[in-house]
Amino acid sequence: MVRRIIFDDQVSWIARLRLPPISNVPADREAASVARILEVEVAGMKFLRARSNIPVPQVHSFDTEEYNDVGAPYILMDYIHGTVASELRLAKGCAVGLHGSTEQDRIFRREMAAVQAGLTTFTFDRIGSLYQDPVTDEFFIGPDIETNKGPWRHSSAYFADVAEHALQVCVNNAAPEVLTSASFSLPVVFTHLMKLVGSDHTSGDSLAAPFCLTNRDFGPHNVLVDDDFHIVGVIDLDGIMAAPYEVAAQFPVLAGLDPEPPGHVESRPMALERIARTKPLIREYNNMVKEIEERSNPRGCKIWNIMLSNGARAVQGLNEYKSHQNHVNENWMRAYARLLVELLPATPSQIKNKS
């Protein structure tokens, strides 16, 4: 629940309360406690205000206790005047896939790219959610709120735990037809696939540090914009974490920038129309990230050259698996099979037969 507080001097704050989950809504997608999730959200806002130019609210007070005087965990923070981008595009009746006019949408996506690229300039030696020590005020990487495990020193261990969690959430919440399909086991294949996928962002062990900062839930649904779709604030930062570059290299969530599964061939007219519309936008967004990273972080590790890699697409497949839709899982299961064939080394007998 979110409420705006206006003081006598016209200063405005936001009170955000974490209410108990509704009983029929799955509550196990994030295994961490409400208190821990709130700690991460607060740490994210404080970190970005102190160390970046990304516009986030200033936190004035917070309490993670469930049974405090308010009756729920809460955050008191600055009010930022703006509208959630995904809600504004609906209110304005924007064309499919656009936030405002064509030019406004291009500027909006460039500003999103700047936020995403800005996060990745911060690197850490562990994988996990971002926290702040209440005594020393130092920021550190701790357990991931999705799995409530970690921190991890290697990507392979993180990917295995994330896949196991996704599988368990599916068991607990998916429809019977999803659970009885062969594609139900997609997270198992994902774990093996990520051991085979190499990355170009490091030399040596690509599964080890550095890991970069990202917001797993970054998209138009958690950025505030003015009436022309300029970004004025980034909110809902409980997804902030230090992650492998394949995770940070995901395209923004719910932004109409989702690449198709590798090797997928579409035949439905509406889907073909969507693909034709979004393909140039995907390429353009990738180029926006490249331009920003090459200018602002020329010597650091980058995500632009990983965004369309096999590793990033495999992570996309696991993310889409969480929607628990059979046709989505089956498309990605076929894509994973293609990647496995491509990545598994050939045996001596296979090499001999080909020659």
Look up residue 214 and give its two tokens.
């990202």
First to last CA, the chain: 66
Structure token digits, residue 29: 């997608």
pLDDT above 80: residue 136: yes
Task: Give the pLDDT mean for 52-75.
Answer: 93
Band of the pLDDT at 240, cuts 50, 70, 90? very high
**22 has a pLDDT exceeding 70:** no
Nearest to 162 by CA among 327, 328, 29, 355: 29
Any idea which architecture 82-347 has in CATH?
Alpha-Beta Complex (3.90)
Token readout for 69 is: 């005087």
Give me the DSSP letters along 250-290: PPPTTSS--PPPTT-----HHHHHHHHHHHHHHHHHHHHHH
Q: In whole numbers, what is the pLDDT of the chain averaged over residues?
A: 90
CA separation for the pair 12, 9 (Å, rounded): 9
Phi, psi for 141 (deg, rounded to 5): -100, 125
Of 138-142, 186-190, 217-221, 267-271, the one with minimum mean pLDDT is 267-271
Give the start-to-end residue ranges of the domains of the chain.
Answer: 82-347
Q: Which residue in 203, 190, 151, 168 sits closest to 312, CA to CA?
A: 190
| Cβ atoms 201, 59 nearer than 8 A | no
Instruction: Kindly report, residue by residue over 145-191, the tens digit of the pLDDT.
Output: 999 999 999 999 999 999 999 999 999 999 999 999 999 999 999 99
Go through 261-289 and write b for each residue having 16 or more CB atoms within 10 A of its CB, e for each that does not.
bbeeeeeeeeeeebbeebeebbeebbebb
**Region 119-140 average pLDDT:** 96
Q: Which residue has the higher pLDDT, 19 or 259?
A: 259
Q: Is the pLDDT of residue 9 over 70?
A: yes
Q: pLDDT value at position 117?
A: 96
pLDDT grade for 202, boundaries at 50, 70 and 90:
very low
154, burial (CB in 10 Å: exposed 0-12, middle 13-18, buried 19+): middle
CA 176 to chain centre: 28
Query: What is the chain's Cα-based Rg?
Result: 21
Confidence of residue 28 (pLDDT cuts 50, 70, 90): low
**Residue 199 pLDDT:** 46
pLDDT of 279 > 70? The answer is yes
Residues 74-129: tens digit of each pLDDT? 999 999 999 999 999 999 999 988 999 999 999 999 999 999 999 999 999 999 99
